[in-house]
Chains A and B, each alone.
Chain A
Amino acid sequence: MKNKNRRDFLKTVGTVGATGIAAAVGGDTSVAGQSPAGSPAGRVLLDPAGGPVSHAYTFLTAPEAAFIEAAVDRFIPADDLTPGGTDCGVAVFIDRQLAGAWGSGDRTYMQGPWQKGVPTQGYQSPLTPAEFFRAGIAATNAYCRKTLQKDFDRLTVEQQNKVLQDMEQGRVTFEGTVPAQEFFNLLLGTAMQGFFADPIYGGNRDKAAWKMIGFPGVIAIYSEHIKTYRNKKYDVEPKSILDLS
């Protein structure tokens, strides 16, 4: 899967059942499943700690999911520290957040009139975060098609990195409503939330991010350790809310 484009893969696998593919690809922990006609792309992730966990994108369309998976794999590339962002569940996390209360503008003052402020006045878009993401993905793809003749997820890794860097540095301007840099910051911020949040939200699978840094998670009784672990590494298997629920 690693170097394969998600859409191509979906094409190749056609209607083969998800479990069958999982078995066929063996060690790989993430497998695209069958996408029922007219509904969002389905996906099966194998929980390294147990059996398969089924995921379906509820908000993202298949092309949007392909975009998000590519982006989070650039942000969090697979290496000896952790699997890539998608395999850590970060795309699933983003999808669920966008489909949920936060995506639809919960805890956000949504009344007009709307004006562009200075960045230090904060979020001023009339779009909900979910709408903002949708528009941002479309705008990034439009930019990629215009400059590189392909959607973002079909670019080479190097090209993807370059597009993301240009967005981050404010070197590109998108057509339409969504400022490239602002979208980049929201995308990166949400991906990081997914990578580091409790696995209960679908990201940080197998607590990969917590293991990477040495965060022990939610069992946190350090009354004695505050003294005994001064300048000493505290090595434990992290525990999440998911583990304890």
Chain B
Amino acid sequence: MTTRLREVDVVIVGLGWTGGILAKELSEAGMRVVALERGGMRGTNPDFAIPQIRDELKYAVRNHLMQNPARDTLTFRHSPTEPSLPMRQLGSFLPGEGLGGAGVHWNGVTWRWTGIDHAARSYYEQRYGKSFIPSDMPIQDWPMTYAELEPYYDKFERTAGVSGKAGNIRGTKQTGGNFFEQPRDRDYPLPALEPSYSQILFNDATAQMGYHPFPRPCANASRAYTNPDGSHLGACVYCGHCERFGCEANAKGSPHITVIPKAMAQPSFELRTHSWVTKVMLDSTKKKAIGVAYTDVSTGEEYEQPAAIVALCAYAINNVHLMLLSGIGTPYDATTQKGIVGKNYCYQPGGGGVTLFFEDRIFNPFMATGAFGIAIDDFHANDQFDRAAMSALGGATINVGQSNGRPIGYRPVPAGTPRWGAAWKKATAKWYLRAMNIGVTASNMPNRYNAYDLDPTYKNVFGQPLLRLTYNFLENDKKVIGYVAQKAAEIARSLKPASMTGPGMLGDYNIVPYQSTHNTGGAIMGSSPGNSALNKYLQSWDVPNVFVLGASAFPHNSAYNPTGPVGALAYWTADAIKTKFRNRPGLMT
């Protein structure tokens, strides 16, 4: 039996970063908001308390803070001709579950995307001509400019306590910041963190080579901080248990210590945990959502929550799944290239990195934070970088982080070392402290075949079809990685290591080893219903009282991590709902 509940103004599906921001903004504006979160309640104390939180096996290997694939997962194939098989265990990416979503166990690298990202098609067409863009690469411009989003980026950086150094304040270049940065209104709320030894070496080497190194912006607080909402963050202690863990020091900008408690303080806000939304309910016209159906996974009871606005904040992957399950918009078909929902799935190619081994240098890899690092953007945000030289679109950042030295996962040894036995032990003991990594993180352009749809065979615990992902790294990605990896290798060689491994070549996408939780696209935003599922306010063209927040809206993936614009767009959408939609419900222009 299904229980029908009283109608509210807004129902939010998923309470991570985007859901948290929306929950706070809309409930503070007096709207009646219910958030449905499939996972449980959690907080810093006791859930992230030391010493238990420093358990690599439980959190970093067995993924105890993340989505449980036994209940819901997706199927995966490299191309439409391959059988699609379930991702039976988590690996390549780690979607969150529970209050705060992946926002509690992210690293915190917090970028503003570039002008090139906002103008992805027009930039390449103008600079290189229409024929430079392959015909099977459906890139398109964002429906808003960087300048329009700037105040919202600023808001998110201040909420999350981002540490960094501005490179461009209102058009004036700032020494020490990112030379290629878009103009910002003011500096980051917190100064950059102390660099590690590896980062200093990289900084000096790249500066010497004429590149433009700068501290990567990160939501790991360089000192204690109170954000504009009055939320307190502690100072990061460089503990090296950041990504995949919750922070016991509250030093990582995270929704569970910022926006969510603010929403929970509002009488007009209600949170229901263990509430798994299975569907958005539409009326008979299919143009209007009447609410959502959900199951309380702790009792098995089914509910309907009517609402005037439905906000999907369930993470990029789950948002698309829910749209397809609910019949919102037209599903994309890669064969005919008709339809929209599921289109332009992108990810983040890596694999061009190098590991450097030094006889006489000690890096203490365990003195680490999730996000601090030195990066160069000369092959990415730099619009003068000649893409014709690599005959590919996009680019890659080259960076040195130092996110952890946790020994199940981090045990660098030189190429040719056996994986076990006496020689392996000797090498592991020798090199653990004496290695550093230079990473290459690339953009990912869409391809007509890289897309989601519903799987015809496999089901989740609710008996619903799993999402099916068709995806591979393609020619363009291989060229970008191939080109920028050589630059990374040159930088590495200038440091004269005793030996180095890499750079590797980009092969087929492998869903097993962790790469990043930077899944984008599927419910993309654009200028018209013909090219997108969402308008510039992340509002469904087809069902205008449904908003779809998160990186599912990105038509391509940048070489930057997604959460900067994910957070900025959440504030942007909240603003549009408060100031426009609320007074005049309907499609906003």
Question: Which of B196, B363, B420, B425 has its CB near the most chain A CB atoms (within 10 A)?
Answer: B420
Residue contact B51 to A196, C-beta cutoff 8 Å: no
Chain B residue nearest in CB terms to A72:
B420
Residue contact B419 to A188, C-beta cutoff 8 Å: yes
Residue contact A222 to B425, C-beta cutoff 8 Å: no
Q: How far is the CB of B165 from chain A (nearest CB, A)?
A: 17
Decide if B458 is an interface residue (CB 8 Å cutoff).
yes
The 8 Å CB contact of A107, one of B55, B90, B422, B457, is B90
Question: Which of A111, A124, A213, A240 has its CB near the most chain B CB atoms (within 10 A)?
Answer: A213
CB neighbours (8 Å) of A193 from chain B are 57, 61, 408
**CB within 8 Å of A: which B49-71 residues:** 50-52, 54-57, 61-63, 68-70
Residue contact A218 to B88, C-beta cutoff 8 Å: no
Residue contact A107 to B56, C-beta cutoff 8 Å: no
Residue contact B61 to A118, C-beta cutoff 8 Å: no
Q: Please, how many angstroms separate the alpha-carbon atoms of A241 and B406 in the complex?
A: 14
Residue contact B366 to A220, C-beta cutoff 8 Å: yes
Range class of the B interface residue count: 35 or more
CB neighbours (8 Å) of B406 from chain A are 215
Residue contact B196 to A226, C-beta cutoff 8 Å: yes
The 8 Å CB contact of B196, one of A79, A220, A230, is A230
CB neighbours (8 Å) of B510 from chain A are 119-120
Residue contact B87 to A122, C-beta cutoff 8 Å: yes
Q: How far is the CB of A47 from chain B (nearest CB, A)?
A: 19
Given contacts A77-B421, A229-B367, contact A210 B57 (CB under 8 A): no
Decide if B86 is an interface residue (CB 8 Å cutoff).
yes
CB neighbours (8 Å) of B362 from chain A are 229, 231-233
Q: Please, how many angstroms separate the alpha-carbon atoms of A70 and B62 in the complex?
A: 26
CB neighbours (8 Å) of A196 from chain B are 56, 407-408, 411
The secondary structure that dominates the A interface is: loop
Question: Which of A105, A191, A218, A240 has its CB near the most chain B CB atoms (within 10 A)?
Answer: A218
Given contacts A109-B69, A122-B91, A212-B425, contact A221 B85 (CB under 8 A): no
Question: Which of B57, B89, B200, B428 has its CB near the most chain A CB atoms (within 10 A)?
Answer: B57
Residue contact A111 to B408, C-beta cutoff 8 Å: no
Decide if B112 is an interface residue (CB 8 Å cutoff).
no
Decide if B194 is an interface residue (CB 8 Å cutoff).
yes
Given contacts A81-B425, A108-B89, contact A120 B459 (CB under 8 A): no
Question: Which of A124, A210, A231 has its CB near the most chain B CB atoms (within 10 A)?
Answer: A231
CB neighbours (8 Å) of A120 from chain B are 78, 508-512
Given contacts A188-B419, A223-B235, A223-B237, contact A215 B405 (CB under 8 A): yes
Decide if B136 is an interface residue (CB 8 Å cutoff).
no
Residue contact B54 to A117, C-beta cutoff 8 Å: no
CB neighbours (8 Å) of A109 from chain B are 69-70, 73, 86-89
**CB within 8 Å of B: which A17-69 residues:** none
Q: How far is the CB of A25 from chain B (nearest CB, A)?
A: 24
Residue contact A215 to B432, C-beta cutoff 8 Å: yes
CB neighbours (8 Å) of B194 from chain A are 226-227
Given contacts A81-B426, A107-B89, A245-B51, contact A197 B361 (CB under 8 A): no
Q: How far is the CB of A86 from chain B (nearest CB, A)?
A: 14
Chain B residue nearest in CB terms to A105:
B70
Q: Please, how many angstroms separate the alpha-carbon atoms of A216 and B63 in the complex?
A: 23
Residue contact B458 to A111, C-beta cutoff 8 Å: yes
Chain B residue nearest in CB terms to A188:
B420
Residue contact A118 to B512, C-beta cutoff 8 Å: no
Decide if B276 is an interface residue (CB 8 Å cutoff).
no
- Can you give 26 contacting A-B residue pairs, CB < 8 Å? A81-B425, A107-B70, A109-B73, A109-B86, A109-B88, A115-B85, A120-B508, A121-B76, A121-B511, A122-B76, A122-B89, A123-B89, A188-B419, A198-B54, A198-B56, A213-B407, A213-B433, A215-B405, A220-B241, A221-B237, A226-B238, A226-B367, A232-B364, A233-B364, A234-B364, A245-B51
Contacts A105-B70, A122-B88 known; list 6 others, CB within 8 Å. Answer: A110-B70, A120-B508, A198-B55, A214-B432, A220-B241, A241-B52
A-B residue pairs, 7 tightest by C-beta: A218-B54, A213-B432, A220-B239, A230-B197, A222-B238, A120-B510, A222-B367
Residues of A whose CB lies within 8 Å of any CB of B are: 74-77, 79, 81-82, 102, 105-111, 113, 115, 117-124, 161, 164, 168, 188, 191-193, 196-198, 200-201, 209-210, 212-218, 220-223, 225-227, 229-234, 240-241, 244-245
